[in-house]
Amino acid sequence: MKRIFSVSVENRFGVLSKVSSLFARRGYNIESLTVGETHDPTISNMTIVSSGSPHDLEQIEKQLNKKLDVIKVRTFKEEESISREVILVKIKYSAANRSEIIEISQITKAEIVDTTDSNMILLLCDTPDRVDKFIDMIRKFSIIELSRTGTLAMKKCK
């Protein structure tokens, strides 16, 4: 079972390590983790995507709440959330496949953000599963470098 934890924490040094070590120590899985400052500079928000049994997920929430640097834990399923990921991928292209790559970019709404005569960088911001699909589509090209942010998520307004 997949679960998203949106965790407000004190914006202090060492807090990221305290939270991530909690996952490591108790054998919980982290699929992705993103951190950034919020509109209040004393608070950071972490979006952690984890998976496990319902018992594990309940324990994760409780253990996160127990951490003294954690202000609030919100937890929700993927379908209850608006979630996005950003991916950057550097591809080596040739005259033969250049138009196909551009076509894929147009279909997936990826942006070509940098080019030279042999390499280009594509950027896509989309839901995690569409980012997965995008990777599948470009896998056949020669990928030099790929980097994705991990999920950023917020519970829907209802």
The 8 Å CB, 24+ separation contacts for 105-109 are: 108/133, 108/134, 108/137
Among 29, 65, 94, 99, binds another protein (CB under 8 A): 65
59 binds another protein (CB under 8 A): yes
11 binds another protein (CB under 8 A): no
H helices of the chain, where?
15-25, 54-66, 98-108, 128-138
Identify the CA nearest to 87 among candidates 139, 154, 155. 139
Cross-strand partners of 126: 85
Among 2, 10, 90, 104, binds another protein (CB under 8 A): 10
140 binds another protein (CB under 8 A): no
38 binds another protein (CB under 8 A): no
132 binds another protein (CB under 8 A): no
DSSP 40-70: STTEEEEEEEEE--HHHHHHHHHHHHHSTTE
Measured from the CB atom, the residue of 34 and 63 that comes closer to another protein is 63
Span from 66-74, 102-110, 116-124, 149-157 in contact with another protein (CB under 8 A) = 66-74
Residue 115: phi, psi to the nearest 5? -145, 150
Span from 62-70, 101-109, 116-124, 137-145 in contact with another protein (CB under 8 A) = 62-70
Measured from the CB atom, the residue of 23 and 130 that comes closer to another protein is 23
Measured from the CB atom, the residue of 32 and 59 that comes closer to another protein is 59
CA of residue 122 relative to chain centroid, distance: 17
Q: Contact positions toward another protein, by CB under 8 A?
A: 10, 14, 17-18, 21-22, 25, 55, 58-59, 62-63, 65-71
